[in-house]
Amino acid sequence: MTQARALGGVACVDATITLTLLDSFFDPVVGAPAEDLWLETTLSGLVLCPGGSIADSPTDSEGQTTWSRALRAGGHSDREAGEHVIVRIGLRADPWATYSGDADIIFNSPDINGDLQVDLSDTVLFAQDFSGAYHYRSDFFYDGSLTLSDTILFAQALGARCD
């Protein structure tokens, strides 16, 4: 979330997500493990590395935790199809709780094809987008156009992969 930008803007913004976890009596759930709280998307556009979207820390005395670090993931949002981010809470095995908030979050990654590595296949997709019609998936600088700034960010990511 360190490179988050407001929709339609180029300036970086604070993209911290804060979750307050309450039980059925509306009391804070204290000490819920960070690894039991993670982000997903409704259409699987976000492809996660192992542990790539867990919360920053266990819930505190008020039942709160945050997501503020960069996600370890690939892929990109499909806004036209209505994809949105959800918080998964795995504290109960059956059923797994899901919270869907009002956050309008979209994302993209130099791992355009979502195979968890930035390589030649992503380069081909980036080149097609750069020379053709605008595609959000390759607008890494997120200014509504594909420019040299996007090329630099893509080039810096070449070779990255989940380990």
> How much is the pLDDT for 70?
84
| Residue spans per domain, the chain | 17-99, 120-157
Are the beta carbons of 110 and 157 closer than 8 angstroms?
yes
- Determine how many CB atoms are found less than 10 A away from the CB of residue 147: 12
* Closest by Cα among 113, 93, 98 to 40: 98
- The three-point CA angle 44-65-78 to 5° equals 20
Question: Mean pLDDT for the chain?
Answer: 85
In this model, does residue 113 exceed pLDDT 80?
A: yes
Query: What is the CA angle 70-151-67, rounded to 5?
Result: 10
Checking if the pLDDT of 13 tops 80, the result is no
For residue 144, what pLDDT is reported? 87
**Tokens coding 40:** 């997903």
User: How far is residue 78's CA from residue 66's CA, in Å, rounded to a whole number?
Assistant: 24
Q: Distance between CA 154 and CA 135 in Å, rounded?
A: 14
With left for phi above 0 and alpha for psi between -120 and 50, is residue 34 left, alpha or beta? Answer: alpha
d(CA 21, CA 82): 26
pTM: 0.80
Could you report the per-residue pLDDT of 46-63, keeping only the tens digit for each?
A: 999 999 999 999 999 999
Assign residue 53 a region (left: φ > 0; alpha: ψ between -120 and 50; beta: otherwise): alpha
pLDDT surpasses 60 at 7: no
Helices assigned H by DSSP within the chain: 120-131, 148-157
Please count the other Cβ atoms lying within 10 Å of the Cβ belonging to residue 59.
23
Supply 36's token pair: 């039991």
